[in-house]
Amino acid sequence: MASPRTDGDDTDRDDTPDRDSAPDRERWRPKLSLLLAGLLAVDVGIDLYDDGTVTWFWLAVGAVAWAAAAGPVASSAVGRRVGAWFRSIGRFGLGVVIVGFAGATWWLMSTFDPPMLPIDSLVFGGMVGLILQVLREMHESN
C-alpha cells in the first residue's frame, strides 16, 4: 500500500474544481426552466393587475398552494411516487396527460362557465408561488 507523499510535491493531486460543470448545469436546468416559465407568466399577472382584476384572496391561495406543491409536497413520499410515475410514462405518456388535462379543463370551463376573476387570480398566484419556491431552492443550494 502506497503511503501519501510527504516531500511537498503534490503534482499528481488535482484539487482544482472541474472545468466542466455539467452536473451543476443539469441540477439547475429544471429550476431555471420553471423560473423562466414563471417569469413569462408574470406578464399576464401584470395585465391583470393593471386592469384591476386581481382578487387578492385567490392570489394568496394560489401562491401558497403552488409553492407547497413545488416544495414540501413534491418532497414527500406521495410527491416522489407521483414524480416517479411521470418519469416512468415517458414523453408520449406525459403528452397524453397534458393534452387530457387541457381537454378536461376546456370542457369544464365551457360546460360550467365559472367566474374567471378568481380563476385568473388563483393561476397568477400560483405563478408567483412557483417563482418564490424556485428562488428559495436556488438560494438554498448555493
Residue among 132, 122, 137 nearest 59 (CA): 122
d(CA 67, CA 131): 8
Residue 16, pLDDT above cutoff 70: no
**For the chain, how far is it from start to end, CA to CA, in angstroms?**
38
Per-residue pLDDT reduced to its tens digit, 35-93: 676 677 777 777 777 777 788 899 999 999 988 998 889 889 999 999 999 999 999 99
User: Any idea where the domains of the chain sit in the sequence?
Assistant: 33-140
Mean pLDDT of 103-125: 91
pTM over 0.75: no
Question: What pLDDT was estimated at residue 100?
Answer: 97
